[in-house]
Structure 1
Amino acid sequence: MGTEVVLVAGFAAHDVADEIWRVTSESVLVRHDLSGLAEGVVRRWVDGVLTVLELAHGCVSCTLRLDLIPLLEQLDRKVIVHLDPVLEPEAVCFALSETDVHVEAVVTVVDHATWLADATGDATLAERGRAAADGDERTVSQVVVGQAEFADALVVTGTDPVLDAVLDRLNPLAPRQDLAALDVPALFAAIPDGARRGGFDDGFGSLLHGQPPFTEEHGVQVVRFRERRPFHPMRLHHAMDVLLDGVVRTRGRVWVVSQPDEALWLESAGGSLRVGNLGPWPGDRVQEVVVITASASPEAITAALMDAVVTDEELALADELEFADPFTDWREELEEL
C-alpha cells in the first residue's frame, strides 16, 4: 500500500497526535524530540518504544535524511508523525517530495493562549531555549505562522475572536475544530479537494490561498498591494520596517529597478523578514505584496510601499542611474545558510 503519513505540528500537538493515532486503524505513531539535537542526539518513539539516535552532525536536515525519511519508507503503512514543535511541516514535505511517501494531511495545533503573541513577536527559538541546533536563528513567529499557514486542517485549543479572524485570512481553506470537541473523522472529511496535502508552489502562484475575507474584523485585515512599476531598492529596504510591527504575515513577489529580470520573494512573520530570489520572471513583472495585519495600519503599509516605487523620471533614467541595492547581499547571505 505504500506509506501514507499524517504530519501533526505545533507547540501543543501532543494530545491531538495521540487522538488521531487512536482513531486511525492499523496506524503507527512516530514521535520526535529534537531537544538534544545540538549535541547530536535525537529521541524517537515508534508506538511508544524509545530509540535514542546519535548523529554525526546535529541538524534538522540530517534528522530528516538519516532518520525520519528512511523510517517512513520502511514502515509501508499509515503513519501519524508527531513532529517536534520546532519542525516546520513544509520542510518535511519538501524532503518527502523525492520519495514514494504520500502526505495524506498536515494538521497543525494552534494554542489560543500564546499563538498571537508568538506570531507577532520577534523572539528567536534560541531565546526560548528551543533552537534545533547551533546556529538556528529562526524566530518563533516564523515557525508558528509557517505551521498554521501550511496546514490542511487546524485544531485550536480554545476560543479567541481575534485569532479566528487571523486564521480565516492566513489559511481560509483549512477546516478548524476546537480541541475540546475534536472529531478526527469529521475534521479529515472537511479537508477540501484543493488542499495542499504536502504540495508547494514555486513562488509564482497565487499569493492568496483560498478566498480570505478582505473586510476588517477585530482589527485584522488583508492588505493587497499591486503595482507594475519596480521598487527603488533602498526605499524598499527602508519601507520594510512597516511590515515588522503589528503584522502576522507578508508574502510578496517583487522586483527592484536595479535587478529588472529577477523576481524577488519577500516574506515576513511577526518581527522577522526574509528576502530570496525566485529567478527570472516567467511573464509580466507585476509587484504583488499581500499582508495580514493584526494591529498595523493598512493605510500606512500601502503608503510606505507606494512611496518605495520608482518615479516615472527614475524609471526613464534607470539605465543611466546607479542604485545601491542591499538585496543583492541579502540574497547571497540566504543562499549560504
Structure 2
Amino acid sequence: MSDRIPVTVLSGSLGAGKTTLLNHLLGAAGDRDIAVLVNDMGDVNVDAELIAEGSEVDVAGVTELSNGCICCELQDDLETAVVRLARDRSFDALVVESSGISEPAPVARLFTTESRVAAQYRVDALVTVLDTRRFLDAFGDDDVPTRQGTDADGRPLSDLLVEQVEVSNVVLLNKRDLCSDAELDRAADLVAALQPDATTIPTSFSAVDPDRLVGIDAFDASELATLPGWKRALADAGHGGHGEADHAHGEADHAHGEANHAHGEANHAHRHPDEVYGVSSFTYRRRRPFQPDRLAEALRSLPADVVRSKGTLWVAGSDQRQQVGQAGRSVRVTAQGPWIASRPSVERDMLRSNRPDLSWHDEHGDRETAYVVIGTDLETDSIVDRLDAALVTDEEWERVRAEDELSGVEEFPTTPGDEVVLREP
C-alpha cells in the first residue's frame, strides 16, 4: 500500500446529498483524520459554510475553492490548495467535493499525472451521490417531468449525470426513503448498465459507513476507473473475430436487403450479462453510411426506453467521424476528425502502420458505424429497423460513390470538435 495520502473524489448533482455526506463522514470518522476540500461555483462557498457549521471538525480542516469549477478553470488553484494542505497539516485522507456541475475524471487526473500533487496523493475512489428519484425521472417515460437544467456551457445536466456515474467506483443511491424497493432495484441496474464495476449503496440522508468510501483502494489509474458500460459493450462486440464481421459487412454492402437484415440480427444479439430488471444493451455495426436527414430524425425519435447510447457514426456526404452521445432526452453529435480512409495516402498509410489492430475494409477503410444502445425493456428489433431504414439506399449509395451531394449533411458538424444538438430535454 502506498504511503501517499488517499483521495476520495466526490461528485453528484446539485441537491443529491454531497454536503450531507461530508458532514456524516466527518462526524463518523472516528480515529481517522479526514481533510475536506469543497468546490462551489458561486463566489460564496455555501457548502463549506454548511460543513463548518454542521460538524465539530476544526474549520482549518475544510478548504474552500469558490467562483469556478475545479474540473476546468480552477485546476491550478486545486493543485496549489492540496499541496499547501499537505504541507500545513497532517491527515489520513482527503475528500474533494466537486461542484454539482463538475466532471470527476479531470479532477482525478490531477492526482494521477506526474506532478507535485501525485507525489503526495493517490486517488482512492471516485464516488457519485445520486438523488435516486431524480435519477429515475431523468430516464423515465416522456410524460414524467425531467426536472433537468443545463450547466454553465448549456449542456443538459443529464449528460453530466451519466458521465459522473460512468467513471464511478461507488455510487450512493441516496434518498432511498423516497423510493420503493422496485425503484431502488431499477436504479441499481441502471447504474450497473452505465458502469458495471461500480458498487451501489442505497442510503437515506447520505448515511454510510466511512469505511465503505474512504481507504478502499478502488481506483484504477490505468483507465480512470474501469470502462463504462457503453465502451465495454462496444469492445465486447468488436472482439471475437473482426475479420469475419468485416467480411459480413462487405457482403451486406453489396446486398442491402436480406444480407443487411441478417447482419443486423447477428449484431444486436450481443446483450449485457446483467439483464436483471430489464436493462440490456446491444451494439449496432454497419459498413454502409447513413442518409443524413433520416439519421437525424432517427436519433431525435429514440424511444424513452433508451437510457444511454454512444458511438461513432458514418454519415454520407461528410468526411468526419461523427460521435453521438445520448443521455435521456439529450442527443448531441460531435465531429471527431476525418476518417483515416479520407486522408492523403501518405498520412493514411502512416496512421495505419501505427495502428495494427485497426479494423480495415478493402473498399471503405475504417469507415464504419459502431453504436452502443443501453436501455430498459428495449424493443431491440424496432430500434435496429429504425436505424437500418436511415442507411443510404442502393440508389443513394451510387450517388455517394459518385460524390453527389445529399440533403441533410448540414445537420451534422463539419469541423473537428464542433457539436450539434439534435434533441434537448
Q: What is the one-letter code of the residue matched to 1:288?
A: A
Q: What is the one-letter code of the residue matched to 1:137?
A: G
Offset of residue 81 of structure 1: 0.7
Aligned to 2:134: 114
Within 5 Å, which residues of 2 pair with 1:127-276? 131=151, 133=152, 136-157=153-174, 158=176, 159=181, 160-179=184-203, 182-186=208-212, 189=216, 191=218, 196-197=223-224, 206=232, 208=234, 213-214=272-273, 216-243=275-302, 245-260=304-319, 262-276=320-334
Secondary structure, in 3 states, of the residue corresponding to 2:290?
Answer: coil
Q: Give the Cα–Cα distance (whole angstroms) in 1 for the partners of residues 30 and 97 of structure 2.
A: 15
Offset of residue 271 of structure 1: 0.9
Secondary structure, in 3 states, of the residue corresponding to 1:243?
Answer: coil
Match of 1:16 among 21, 30, 55: 21
C-alpha distance 227-184 of structure 1, shift in aligned 2 (>3 A): farther
> Who wins on radius of gyration, i.e. which is larger?
2
Secondary structure, in 3 states, of the residue corresponding to 2:198?
Answer: coil
Offset of residue 246 of structure 1: 3.1
Give deviations 1:102-139, integer Å, cap 9, x for gaps.
Answer: 4332111223232111345754425xxxx5x4xx4232
Within 5 Å, which residues of 2 pair with 1:32-111? 32-34=39-41, 36=42, 40-42=43-45, 45=48, 48-49=59-60, 63-76=73-86, 78-93=93-108, 99=115, 100-101=117-118, 102-111=122-131
Q: Give the Cα–Cα distance (whole angstroms) in 1 for the partners of residues 100 and 417 of structure 2.
A: 29
Match of 1:327 among 401, 405, 412: 412
Q: Give the Cα–Cα distance (whole angstroms) in 2 for the partners of residues 320 and 209 of structure 1.
A: 32
Give deviations 1:277-333, integer Å, cap 9, x for gaps.
Answer: 233446333311111223553333222211112234433331332023121268665
Q: What is the one-letter code of the residue matched to 1:89?
A: P
8 Å CA contact 1:64, 1:95 repeated in 2: no
Q: What is the one-letter code of the residue matched to 2:404?
A: L
Q: Give the Cα–Cα distance (whole angstroms) in 2 for the partners of residues 212 and 96 of structure 1.
A: 35
C-alpha distance 73-216 of structure 1, shift in aligned 2 (>3 A): same
Q: Give the Cα–Cα distance (whole angstroms) in 1 for the partners of residues 20 and 192 of structure 2.
A: 24
8 Å CA contact 1:141, 1:272 repeated in 2: yes
C-alpha distance 230-74 of structure 1, shift in aligned 2 (>3 A): farther
8 Å CA contact 1:8, 1:83 repeated in 2: yes
Aligned to 2:242: none
The answer on 1:316 being equivalent to 2:336 is no
C-alpha distance 96-309 of structure 1, shift in aligned 2 (>3 A): farther
Percent identity between the two aligned chains: 26
Q: Aligned-residue CA RMSD in angstroms?
A: 3.8
Q: Give the Cα–Cα distance (whole angstroms) in 2 for the partners of residues 195 and 109 of structure 1.
A: 24
Offset of residue 8 of structure 1: 1.1
Offset of residue 27 of structure 1: 3.5
Q: Count how many residue pairs are aligned between Structure 1 and Structure 2.
A: 319
Compare 117-126 and 105-114 and name the one that shifted more. Answer: 117-126
Compare 86-95 and 230-239 and name the one that shifted more. Answer: 86-95
8 Å CA contact 1:244, 1:272 repeated in 2: no
Q: Give the Cα–Cα distance (whole angstroms) in 2 for the partners of residues 93 and 264 of structure 1.
A: 28
Offset of residue 213 of structure 1: 2.7
C-alpha distance 43-14 of structure 1, shift in aligned 2 (>3 A): closer
C-alpha distance 110-94 of structure 1, shift in aligned 2 (>3 A): same
Q: What is the one-letter code of the residue matched to 2:198?
A: A
C-alpha distance 207-331 of structure 1, shift in aligned 2 (>3 A): farther
Q: What is the one-letter code of the residue matched to 1:322?
A: E
Q: Give the Cα–Cα distance (whole angstroms) in 2 for the partners of residues 242 and 281 of structure 1.
A: 27
8 Å CA contact 2:188, 2:200 repeated in 1: no
Gaps of 5+ in 1: none
Offset of residue 189 of structure 1: 4.4
Give the TM-score of the pair, scaled to structure 1. Answer: 0.76
Secondary structure, in 3 states, of the residue corresponding to 1:81?
Answer: strand
Q: Give the Cα–Cα distance (whole angstroms) in 2 for the partners of residues 24 and 293 of structure 1.
A: 43
Give deviations 1:219-271, integer Å, cap 9, x for gaps.
Answer: 432132111222222221111023363322111122212224x3221101111
Q: What is the one-letter code of the residue matched to 2:136?
A: L
Specify which structure has the higher proportion of helix.
Answer: 2
8 Å CA contact 1:145, 1:248 repeated in 2: no
Match of 1:306 among 370, 388, 391: 388
8 Å CA contact 2:124, 2:219 repeated in 1: no
Gaps of 5+ in 2: 237-269, 341-357, 359-365, 421-425
